[in-house]
């Protein structure tokens, strides 16, 4: 089976090396084209910047897209599918936005569009999610879906450092980009949760998804939560009741005896709940060249062996019902909060849906700039600046 790799950075290079090792079943795969930008050094004979020539190769079977970003990846994937080429991608941003379109175009041209590596890296998460959804009615997904943010929070908890110090450490280790916004603002988790929710519930991934990141987390908050037997993790959660769906990405307070609390460093832990199967959890490296390349090659081998994936059309719009995720929030105001406050100045929101009210009361009693409120995610987003001012006002009158 002949493969073209679009982009030859960390992930694309990992795919090339894995195929070149010629081990086990990978021996039947051959990389015949590597698409690179015009300025990229031509270090291998397969490299070219002529995309049209690549997809017009009648011997080419599969296009592996590892460019990242939305464009031109979106247009290249569509072009490959329309030329009768199977497509495998690890690009969570483009899958989250165009999953329905890619699926429809692939079906119309009798080819496959596979994206296991887009969510969970080397963890076979989507594969097992599909398997569970074949025979079960799934109603809840929750997980630590971003290794960078988990590493940062883990460093803050275990080393007692502030957010900025933990972020620099993540960047030095290659876990975080120079611009870490996608990781620390929850955008990466948002994309992965959209994809996972779409697969689990067979809905269009473009649904309402309130999202908060971790840049406002203080080390003192981490420490004080630890004293209460709690841990903070950035998590994505989605639930379904009948035709109604709700989802949220937020720093989430979990109890210390949970598996989520004991997920260290840059590891991921993702869970599902089904009516008959109950709770299932999946743990492992969620990113990195080798794990992601492994997931990509697994998808390519599925195509080579004619292994079908669960058919989903993603045509049903999700009926958003935010009340399904109504829960308790711990809100800490920001110093200097005032009318017109921007989102980055409103302190921190910690979702604490599974925390006992008595424990939350202890937190509020010891934090004069905090409040505990019961809200839905959407309502929380709407009133967030006002609530932060109230929390800060409580401090002023404490």
Any idea which residues carry the catalytic annotation? Answer: 192
The token duo for 70 is 């939305």
Among all chains, which residue has been given the structure tokens 């590891």?
267
- By CB neighbour count within 10 A (0-12 exposed, 13-18 middle, 19+ buried), where does 314 fall? buried
Q: Which residue has the tokens 């590597």?
A: 34
Q: Which backbone phi and psi does 68 adopt, to 5 degrees?
A: 80, 165
CA distance 92 to 4: 19
Burial of 88 (0-12, 13-18, 19+ CB in 10 A): buried
16: left (phi over 0), alpha (psi -120 to 50) or beta: alpha
Distance from C-alpha of 146 to C-alpha of 250, rounded to nearest angstrom: 12
The answer to whether 142 and 283 have CB atoms below 8 angstroms apart is no
**β-bridge partners, 371:** 331
Closest CA to 372 of 223, 253, 208, 227: 253
């Amino acid at each position: 089976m002949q493969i073209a790799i679009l982009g030859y950075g960390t992930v694309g290079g990992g795919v090339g090396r894995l195929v070149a090792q010629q081990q086990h079943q990978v021996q039947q795969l051959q990389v015949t084209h590597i698409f690179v930008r015009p300025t990229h050094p031509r270090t291998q004979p397969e490299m070219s910047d002529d995309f049209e020539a690549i997809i017009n190769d009648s011997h080419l079977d599969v296009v592996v897209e590892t460019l990242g970003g939305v464009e031109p990846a979106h247009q290249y994937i569509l072009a490959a599918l329309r030329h009768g080429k199977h497509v495998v991608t690890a690009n969570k941003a483009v899958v989250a936005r165009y999953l329905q379109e890619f699926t429809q175009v692939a079906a119309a041209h009798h080819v496959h569009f596979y994206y296991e590596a887009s969510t969970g890296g080397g963890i076979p998460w989507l594969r097992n999610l599909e398997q569970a959804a074949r025979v079960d009615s799934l109603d809840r997904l929750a997980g630590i879906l971003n290794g960078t943010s988990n590493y940062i929070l883990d460093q803050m908890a275990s080393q007692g450092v502030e957010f900025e110090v933990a972020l620099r450490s993540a960047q030095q280790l290659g876990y975080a980009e120079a611009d870490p916004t996608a990781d620390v603002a929850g955008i990466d988790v948002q994309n992965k949760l959209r994809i996972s929710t779409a697969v689990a519930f067979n809905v269009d991934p473009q649904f309402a998804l309130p999202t908060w990141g971790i840049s406002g987390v203080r080390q003192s908050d981490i420490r004080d939560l630890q004293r209460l037997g709690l841990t903070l993790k950035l998590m994505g959660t989605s639930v379904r009741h009948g035709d109604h769906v709700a989802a949220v990405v937020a720093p989430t307070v979990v109890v210390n005896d949970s598996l989520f609390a004991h997920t260290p460093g840059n590891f991921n832990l993702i869970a599902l709940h089904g009516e008959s199967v109950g709770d299932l959890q999946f743990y492992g490296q969620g990113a990195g060249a080798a794990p992601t390349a492994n997931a990509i090659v697994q998808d390519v081998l599925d195509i080579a062996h004619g292994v079908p994936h669960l058919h989903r059309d993603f045509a049903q719009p999700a009926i958003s019902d935010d009340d399904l995720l109504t829960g308790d929030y711990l809100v800490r105001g920001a110093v200097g909060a005032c009318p017109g406050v921007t989102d980055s100045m409103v302190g921190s929101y910690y979702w604490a849906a599974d925390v006992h009210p008595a424990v939350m009361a202890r937190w509020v009693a010891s934090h004069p700039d905090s409040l505990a409120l019961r809200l839905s995610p959407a309502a929380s987003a709407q009133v967030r600046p006002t609530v932060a001012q109230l929390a800060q006002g409580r401090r002023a009158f404490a």
